Amino acid sequence: MKVLKRAFLYLSRKKSHTVVLFLIIFILGNIYGLAISLKQVSSVLAYEMKSQLGSTATYINEAVNDAGFSMDTQQDWECFKRYERIVHKLINSTYVSYGNYSYMLLLDDRDGQVRYGYGVSHAPMADVKENIIRIIEGREFTEEELENGERVVIVSNDFRVNGQEIHAGDTIHMKLVFDKNICDENDQCESVVVYDEEYSLKVIGIFEKIDKAFDHVNVGFSDVPGRMYIPNQTLWDLFVRRHQLIQELNVFEVEQMAIDVPIIRLKSSDDLEAFKQEAETVIASEQVENSLMQQPKEQFLISDDDYLSVAEPIRILNHFGNYLCIGGIIAFSIILCIVMINVLQERIHEIGIYLVLGEKKRNILIQLFCELLLVTVLSVSCSLVSSKKAGERVIHSFLDYQSQMDVSYEISIDHEYILSIYGLSVCTIVVAMLYPFHVIITYDPKDILMKK
């Protein structure tokens, strides 16, 4: 008790010395708090990001994705249906979080504008999940609308009809029109409309672009203004209707529907190998039905590049936390050691008098350690809140940088967090006191008192 009392009295008397120690250890506590926050959060972020980003897979069939699809031959039909079965099975795998494959068809509206119909096969919309677009008005498609081929559509916020802005709930009027050249006996020909059919699409949502990846499709479709998201089944019905009319009217029209490369997002990168094996089994099981049809050139591609793109910053975050801990122990041990040596030089006669009066060196060492420990407890306690705020600032800045992620994490001051900071701080002051303790132990009281 006498030792503790002397330690407290010294700290209260030497206020400038106490303030200096307080500020040094306060900074130390903030550094350790930031380091521990980064290490704890990096593990949580790694798990969350891995779960969210997963891995991306796609299936490419050159006969379908490059050439598009038409109904000219039975071979085209069989190749298309095989491709669709494979993609549908892959997207509905238990390892898949979401996916989409899109029909792409050029459509004409009643005002003579060419529109770009981009199909949606599954809900939720992959382009929304991938942060390519954002729904700003209305809603997405329901599973029922996609399955039944409802005539509903989601258009962009810059979509205009006769200069008029479109809102959710409005109706867009489209048309199926066919012209035919009619020639008289003098071979004078003119284009005559031989068929004109109108149909309507109900606008259920408005979207805006987020990323330049919006224009990721092929065959020049991205150059057509007025993109409209439409259920795949709806586009298929329109394509079939168009094919029937061409046959009935005996008109020459190019009838082809493009099919975009599908996007398939896994639930986790941990499922990469298992899904790859399942996909290879699915593709192998879908044999080519027509014996005269050549095996199509196809590729199944899978990668976790999206996760790897953020995995390195996460590892850097964790390493930075380790470096802060190691650097803090080394740097602040040296700083505190220098401070304590200067303090000992000022208190050399005080220590000498204690020793002459019969005080044990052990008690003097305990007193010095208690002085430093009291300041450490006070300053580290004050640094708990400030270090938490500093850690959250760094983490939130990192999450803002990784804008494709929807991850939030708040640092909680729990027992593990508190004990880690106190433990590292005490460890630092112990290392810092090793040399000053050695000096005291080797002191001779007579030599001390004879010094001026």
Q: Of the ranges 29-38, 195-204, 206-215, which one carries the lowest mean pLDDT score?
A: 206-215
Q: How confident is the model at residue 217 (pLDDT cuts 50, 70, 90)?
A: very low
The model's pLDDT over 297-341, given as tens digits with 9 standing for 90+, comes to 677 776 655 555 555 666 677 777 788 888 888 888 888 888 888
Largest pairwise CA distance in the chain = 136
Distance CA 402, CA 310 (A): 7
Q: How confident is the model at residue 219 (pLDDT cuts 50, 70, 90)?
A: very low
Q: What is the pLDDT of residue 151?
A: 94
Taking only Cα atoms into account, the Rg of the chain, rounded to an integer number of angstroms, comes to 37
The model's pLDDT over 17-29, given as tens digits with 9 standing for 90+, comes to 788 888 888 888 8
> Of the spans 133-147, 241-255, 423-437, which averages the highest pLDDT?
133-147
Per the prediction, the chain carries an average pLDDT of 77
Q: Of the ranges 71-75, 132-136, 243-247, 250-254, which one carries the lowest mean pLDDT score?
A: 71-75
Q: Which two tokens stand for residue 75?
A: 């071979």
Q: What is the pLDDT of residue 303?
A: 64
Q: What is the pLDDT of residue 201?
A: 93
With a cut of 90, say whether residue 371 has pLDDT above it.
no
pTM (2 d.p.):
0.57
Q: How confident is the model at residue 233 (pLDDT cuts 50, 70, 90)?
A: very high
DSSP result, 68-105: -B-SS-HHHHHHHHHHHHHHHHHHTSTTEEEEE--EEE
With a cut of 70, say whether residue 218 has pLDDT above it.
no
Q: How confident is the model at residue 141 (pLDDT cuts 50, 70, 90)?
A: very high
How much is the average pLDDT of 112-119?
Answer: 85
Strand order of the sheet with strand 96-100?
A: 96-100, 263-266, 56-61, 298-303
With a cut of 80, say whether residue 223 has pLDDT above it.
no
Q: Of the ranges 6-15, 352-361, 380-389, 407-416, which one carries the lowest mean pLDDT score?
A: 407-416
With a cut of 50, say whether residue 4 has pLDDT above it.
yes
With a cut of 70, say whether residue 87 has pLDDT above it.
yes
Q: What percent of the chain has pLDDT over 70?
A: 76
